[in-house]
A and B are shown apart, each in its own frame.
Chain A
């Protein structure tokens, strides 16, 4: 476990020593503050549009950070040949996969924490209160969802040769699931038979990332989720991530290190 943490530590150091995160954060902050600087119809109490935009930017930025950080990890190890001194140490390939996953997930978590802190400040400054439970639930579920995304990108980085194509594909898949995942069963039912089963199977196989998007609850002052639901969603994500990591490990185990 110490090995895994050590590997994760390197990934986290990488995150805060690169500029990507800062660029995205500043961009999000600037756009939010810019939108916040306008008063619509002389009513300074209007807040939800601002929260909405801020959360949307946070979702995009978090996906960018999680996917790009993860997608480059193993390819960079191979390209810079750091994988050789690494594997010459008492480190198994499984530990490399686990360490990279943990590092990327924690790194996205740290980034997410910073982003949500900003959101909290923006939200509180407008409305003078914050729905703490919903806020924490949204943050937690968002982070849990990123575990699946990181797992996906890690698996992808072992399947696709170029990190850029991997990142692009991951993006399309994740956005696709977020936007369409909920409705695939409905789409399936409208298809003729052979296609119908195919689409329905996809519906059952994909990770349902859209569950973890509870922005609406946070935006419009709905009551929070039940904690059991949170727990179940967390378990689902855990199982899914474990499967993705298992797949990544199986691939990585056989992978020749020389490209």
Chain B
């Protein structure tokens, strides 16, 4: 029932009018090398000024990533590895110290076509005096979506994230998981071609997680590209075409999930732990 609902919802807005950008031509079967590159970083380096002294903290060191059209790409790493920082660079919130990043082939230093991106930040408290419906309408207006169309999408999205019952309540009355779902809904309001999701399942109950997985799966089937970070390796394993694992700002591995599992003869969790230096446990 869940699944069917998701399917028809997502289909619903893929078919929707002129805000639909030309979906990538390529077929959606996972990342072959000659597919269009949607997201790319080249020797990306980000340094933060340390809060106390003149020293600096390197959050990302020479990161090279390529995400192809129609891929679901898992971005993994322990806490503080630099995942959020990388996403912030992609969205233009943080400027790279060195190297560059590209979305749809355009440097993120340029004012890019954000029209085509959906972004779910981590830990956001949306305008708490607005209701979910008003929040979504506000974001829809930012994309210039006409009112009637916006109303339709808002209905669909609220059904999708199961917030219909709470749609007229101010967000300050929502639980953490409900806020996270509002976040997911707002990331989808413009029917984006590229979704950048920072820990989309954090704070969600098992059912909610499954649902997010379903949504990602549907989006993939619609030919969208999804780039997301997560700590839930099981879910990453089931939903991702390819993953990258970074530790302390450095890329440890970037490959297809199936290839990794084959190569290391272990599940993703064990591979992850070994890559970030938790050797003892794995060999034990």
Contacts and interface: CB of A to CB of B under 8 A. Distances in A.
Nearest to B119: A88
A198 interface: no
B171 to A, nearest CB: 10
B143 A81 contact: no
Interface size range of chain B in the complex: 35 or more
Contacts of A256: 94
Contacts of B48: 258
Contacts of A9: 138, 141
Contacts of A10: 127, 130, 138
Given A84-B119, A85-B183, A257-B93, A90 B124 contact: no
B141 A2 contact: yes
B125 A89 contact: no
B143 A85 contact: no
Nearest to A92: B111
B142 A3 contact: yes
Interface string A1-17: 01101100110011001
Interface residues of A, number: 25
B96 interface: no
B126 A14 contact: no
B134 A13 contact: yes
Contacts of A85: 119-121, 124, 126, 139, 183, 186-187
A6 B142 contact: yes
Contact of B127 (A3, A82, A88, A89): A82
Contacts of B196: 88
A190 B198 CA distance: 63
A91 B121 CA distance: 16
A76 to B, nearest CB: 9
Contacts of B183: 85
Nearest to A16: B129
A4 to B, nearest CB: 10
Nearest to B172: A17
Nearest to A254: B95
Interface in B10-64: 48
Contacts, number: 81
Nearest to B116: A90
B92 interface: yes
A169 interface: no
Contacts of A90: 113-115, 142-143
B4 to A, nearest CB: 29
A88 B117 contact: yes
A130 to B, nearest CB: 35
B134 A80 contact: no
Interface string B89-128: 0011110000000000000000101110101110111111
A14 B48 CA distance: 34
Given A80-B124, A81-B124, A258-B94, A6 B138 contact: yes
A75 to B, nearest CB: 14
A80 B125 contact: yes
A81 B121 contact: yes
B141 A3 contact: yes
Nearest to B120: A85
Contact of B123 (A2, A81, A86, A89): A81
B125 A87 contact: no
A222 interface: no
B80 interface: no
18 contacts: A2-B141, A3-B142, A14-B129, A80-B127, A84-B121, A85-B119, A85-B120, A85-B121, A85-B187, A86-B142, A88-B114, A88-B119, A88-B121, A89-B143, A90-B113, A90-B114, A90-B142, A257-B94
- Which 6 pairs, one residue from A and one from B, show the smallest C-beta to C-beta distance? A88-B119, A6-B141, A84-B121, A80-B125, A17-B129, A89-B142
Interface of A: 2-3, 5-6, 9-10, 13-14, 17-18, 80-82, 84-92, 256-258
